[in-house]
Amino acid sequence: MKLRLSLRNSARAARNSLIAALIFLIPGCFSPPGQSYTIKNLSTSLNGICKNEYNISIVSKLQGQTLWVYIPLEEELFIDTGKPEEYSKKFEVKSIDGSLAGGSINLDYNIQEIPEAKESQNKKFNPQAMDKINKILRSLRRVVFSLRHDKYEPKFFSIVASDIKNGVELIEITYIDDLKKAFYGIISWNEYQQRSLQDIKVSLEAIGDFKGRHLKFQDIDFKEFLVEQIRQRIRQKFNRAEVEKGADIDKEVLKSIKKVLEIYKFQDFLVLDLRNLLTDKKISLSRAAVFEKIKE
């Protein structure tokens, strides 16, 4: 199954809440001396900590080098907020599709400038659900940071928190090296937020599912992760009104792509092909040209 995430407006509250939870975890970010885990007991250990210390039942599975953690929530994931959050919208992101294969990065996008309008977000994370997720993040951090080094150790973890009464699901995929960099102060928590992939969706199959049977656990492919982060950064940039009206959309898209390639020092491609579906403008850059522009 190909990795495919698409942020929705309601994800704004989720992103802020998860970042707040992770920042809250900074104190005491190391396990007790002598405590360590292996990839063989990784899932069992994580399940045990959550159950024994917090009385929370989860399902975890190491698929390839991706650790999946399923959290069945009997409480609502989101609740109404007393004061809606307002934000400006200057662009409409109709579509962003990309791929990275055969030495080529391809990105097709349709982003339109629109008359500026005010929109509002009237949902927030349920504090009860947040508390439960927070405790599981504590346990996850504890195990991941004390994992014995192994060539097959996980590179990604994916948190899936499902409201099993209403079928609303939050998914967050994190590159573990990014989490460690944030904890050690190498990158900011805001930057970490932009590197983790988040999605909120309606999943009727999650209703009543305590075991995560509706999920298809997969090993996250690094190249697909890069493409999805590029899509996410572009979508966030235009949805958050970071881009001024009248800006060169193609140039802004290219900035986001170059940002991701530069972060991960990714050079395993020969050409970058962009296509603006609105104007039918096409841009093709060699790898050398892309990285030359990064230096500019």
In angstroms, the Cα distances linking 126 to 18, 207, 232 are: 12, 18, 24
pLDDT at 85: 79
Q: What is the pLDDT of residues 107-160, one digit of tens each?
A: 999 999 999 888 888 888 899 999 999 999 999 999 999 999 888 999 999 999
Q: Which residue type is seen at 189? A: W
Same-domain status, 98 and 194:
no
> Do 158 and 19 fall into the same domain?
yes
C-alpha to C-alpha distance for 285 and 282, rounded to whole angstroms: 10
User: What burial letters (b/e) apply to 81-119, b meaning 16+ CB within 10 Å?
Assistant: eeeeeeeebbbebeebebebeeeebbbebbbeeeeeeee
- Whether residue 86 is contained in a domain is answered as no
Domain boundary among 153, 186, 220: 220
With residue 117 as reference, give the H or E element that holds it: strand 104-125
25-75 tens-digit pLDDT? 444 444 444 458 999 999 999 999 999 999 999 999 999 999 999 999 999
152 and 288: one domain?
A: no
Q: Which domain holds residue 204?
A: 11-77+126-220
Q: Which of 220, 254, 275 is the last residue of a domain?
A: 220
Q: Where among 186, 220, 254 does a domain terminate?
A: 220
Residue 82 reports pLDDT greater than 60: yes
On whether both 196 and 130 belong to a single domain, the answer is yes
In the chain, the number of structural domains is 2
Same domain as 192, residue 132: yes
From its phi and psi, is residue 241 left (phi > 0), alpha (psi between -120 and 50) or beta?
Answer: left
* DSSP secondary structure letter of residue 147: B
Per DSSP bridges, beta strands 156-163 and 66-73 are parallel
247 and 101 fall within a common domain: yes
